[in-house]
């Protein structure tokens, strides 16, 4: 999004979410420092929401994927370049690195251990049929 970012992450094992967000913001700010010429990139506060079930996780992921379409920034979710949608839809690697079953297998094949622990596989339910038709 032009003025904000959505991130769906697991609670860090060793530290708090606040520290994880702080580190993320610092890493991005350092990379952008040369471009921004010292201007602040991040706002001081962030909004978080605890996702307590697989169903809620799917709901939030769908919201994140549809947000650029709802905001009329793109016509289809797969057109937004900084999204995980194409990863889930087509299994493509993109701008956003996603830890999934297939990326974990690819890393293992390269002799690289995943940096994060895998959560149980969540099946994304199919969208409801259009105009009430079954199928």
Domain count, the chain: 1
The pTM of the full predicted model, rounded to 2 decimals, is 0.66
Whether the CB-CB separation of 60 and 8 falls below 8 Å is answered with: yes
For residue 11, give every residue at least 6 positions away whose Cβ sits within 8 Å of its Cβ, in sequence order, or none.
17
Are the beta carbons of 42 and 29 closer than 8 angstroms?
yes
127 is a domain residue: no
User: Cβ distance 11 to 17 under 8 Å?
Assistant: yes
Q: Classify residue 4: in a domain, yes or no.
A: no
Domain that holds residue 86: 17-119
| Percent of the chain predicted with pLDDT > 70 | 76
Domain assignment present for 86: yes
- Determine, yes or no, domain membership for 130: no
pLDDT at 40 over 50: yes
Provide the pLDDT confidence category of residue 108 given band limits of 50, 70 and 90: confident
User: For residue 59, what pLDDT is reported?
Assistant: 92
**Could you tell me if residue 1 is inside a domain?**
no
State phi, psi for 88 to the nearest 5 degrees.
-70, -35
């Amino acid at each position: 999004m032009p003025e904000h970012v959505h991130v769906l992450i697991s609670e860090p094992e060793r530290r708090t979410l606040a520290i994880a967000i702080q580190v993320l913001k610092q890493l991005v700010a350092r990379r952008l420092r040369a471009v921004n010429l010292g201007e602040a990139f991040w706002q001081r506060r962030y909004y978080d929401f605890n996702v307590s079930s697989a169903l809620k996780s799917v709901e939030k992921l769908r919201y994140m994927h549809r947000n650029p379409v709802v905001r009329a920034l793109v016509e289809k979710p797969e057109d937004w370049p900084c999204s995980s949608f194409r990863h889930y839809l087509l299994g493509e690697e993109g701008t956003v690195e996603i830890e999934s079953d297939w990326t974990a297998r690819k890393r293992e094949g390269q002799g690289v251990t995943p940096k994060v622990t895998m959560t149980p596989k969540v099946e994304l339910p199919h969208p409801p049929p259009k105009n009430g038709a079954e199928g």
